[in-house]
Structure 1
Amino acid sequence: MDWGDPPTWVAIAVSLAALAYARLARGDSRRSADIAQASLNIQQTEFDERRAAAAAAAVPKVKFVVEHVHKLRYCLRNVGDATATGVTVSREGLSLVTGLPENVTLAPEAAHDFKILEAWGAQRPTALLVRWDGQDEPYPVRVPPRPRRGLTL
């Protein structure tokens, strides 16, 4: 029996080895492509989350502080970057406070003056409950203490 010439058999063996190697490489490239696709999906999700967070941060917000002006005078100031309309302070428990805002509009950095009167034994408020259009629940804003006379800072 004649098995042919040896170079043919060597060529067949090399071809079979190359075919097996190609199949292994194809499996590796599929796994690599799947991993690359998963990585792109993760990056896209992170990009979408960052864009949503940036959009939320870019939305103008209303923020209030109470500042001591002079003696009994205070002001409610909008330190946010949006105009607040319908600003109203709850008068509940504030019998010694006069001039509180009621349905006013405060642009950014605008303020509304009011007075906190002092009476012997009466308690000063520690916070004001503020509402404005878009803020349904009363929002507490801290009232700073009045500086004492004679103290230097």
Structure 2
Amino acid sequence: MNAIIEWFTANFTLSDLPGWLGLVFGGTSLLVSWRNLSWAKRSAVANEKAADASVRSANAAEKAAAYNELTSHNVSARESSTSTAPDVSWTIEHFRNAAYVLINSGSQVATGVTADATPFGGLARELPKDAAVRAGGQHRFLLVETWQKAAPREMWLTWDGQDEPVAVPMPYPTRG
């Protein structure tokens, strides 16, 4: 170790000290600026991602606001148009083989219940025609499916107080 100290003191004078200090400080500042540059690049990428996310969020908020406005308008229009119509809702369940059950799942009796037979193309029998179905009541009908003609997946119903047809989804028959 003494040899190193002697060599250093013999080769370097005190006048070289400011140069060496400048080299150390310059190297340190170069290292710090290089790290800051990499951090700035990371920050720019993160800011770009945040900006894209904020644009997507704003678009989603606009869509949600438009949807809410549309649905509230539709609900108010529907409420005003169906204020005289009784509270009737429908479900269809597959009973067995070709038999299905139309169920009034509402809280009021539905009178004048009529199903549009056109989509069934002669495959359906005993469809409701000017029928009355009480709340929780049922109306059974038959739907024969053939290889040549697929059965529709919805039934269009009208009843007293509901002049515009309402689509009721039909379940797929269960086999077995």
Match of 1:75 in 2: 101
Which amino acid is 1:145 matched to? Y
Match of 2:167 in 1: 140
- RMSD of aligned residue pairs (Cα, Å): 2.1
Displacement of 1:102: 0.3
Identify the structure with the greater strand proportion.
1
Which amino acid is 2:173 matched to? R
Displacement of 1:93: 2.1
2:152 paired residue among 125, 132, 140: 125
2:114 paired residue among 68, 73, 88: 88
**CA distance in structure 1 between the aligned counterparts of 2:155 and 2:128, rounded to whole angstroms:** 11
Q: Segments of 4+ in structure 1 off by > 2 A?
A: none
Q: Whose radius of gyration is greater, 1 or 2?
A: 2
1:122 match: secondary structure: coil
Task: Determine if the alignment matches structure 1 residue 65 to structure 2 residue 98.
Answer: no
Which amino acid is 1:121 matched to? Q
**CA distance in structure 1 between the aligned counterparts of 2:86 and 2:125, rounded to whole angstroms:** 30
1:93 match: secondary structure: helix
Match of 1:101 in 2: 128
Identify the structure with the greater helix proportion.
2
Match of 1:7 in 2: none
The number of residues matched between the two structures is: 94
**CA distance in structure 1 between the aligned counterparts of 2:145 and 2:165, rounded to whole angstroms:** 25
**CA distance in structure 1 between the aligned counterparts of 2:104 and 2:116, rounded to whole angstroms:** 17
TM-score, normalization: structure 1? 0.57
